[in-house]
Amino acid sequence: MKLSRRGMMLGALAVPTVAGLASWQWKTGGKSLLLHDDSLNAGRRFGDAGRAAGATTRAIAGDPVRFGREVLASKPALVAGVSRHAEALLIGEVAMEEGYVLATELRGCNGACEGFTLSPGWNALNRMAAGAGEKWVELLAAWAANPQASELPQVPRFAVAGDPGTVLGWVLVPRA
């Protein structure tokens, strides 16, 4: 993929716009919504950590497309989730139709996490998640519950059981 100066500038200008929109939504009562696949150990941990941090959490149930339409109808300021690739893809497609963009994707496998950022403003979250190792799920939930917090979320100090295969963490935000 070629990157031009113009494309780079447009990308750089979009980051503060997305951040500003989210900030505006927080000031007017916007809330985070955390979604998780209950069949995954990481999904259950994400849901538990989100509830402990005071966030609204929902287990992904039934048809992911219908589920996505239902949960996005309330227009949350931020949607974070932990699931398998298929659910992330289908909910992400519905989110795009509803005016959201995928801000970042985290891939957890074998007790480690890698972050794949789609805009530079999300690199810090990716680094925090990668540094948390096997506890990246809890960190993502704590952060998503209160992304405007001035302090970094605390990562719990207990051993966790992993899931076979790759688990995705993802963050969707309203398009600027």
* pLDDT tens digits along 163-176: 677 899 999 999 87
User: How many structural domains is the chain composed of?
Assistant: 1
Q: What pLDDT is recorded for position 127? A: 87
Contact 113, 145 (CB under 8 A): no
Average pLDDT, the chain: 81
Residue whose token pair is 């298929």: 86
Confidence at 26, pLDDT banded by 50, 70, 90: very low
Give percent above pLDDT 90 in the chain. 52
Range of the domain at 31: 5-174
Phi, psi of 169 (to 5 degrees): -110, 145
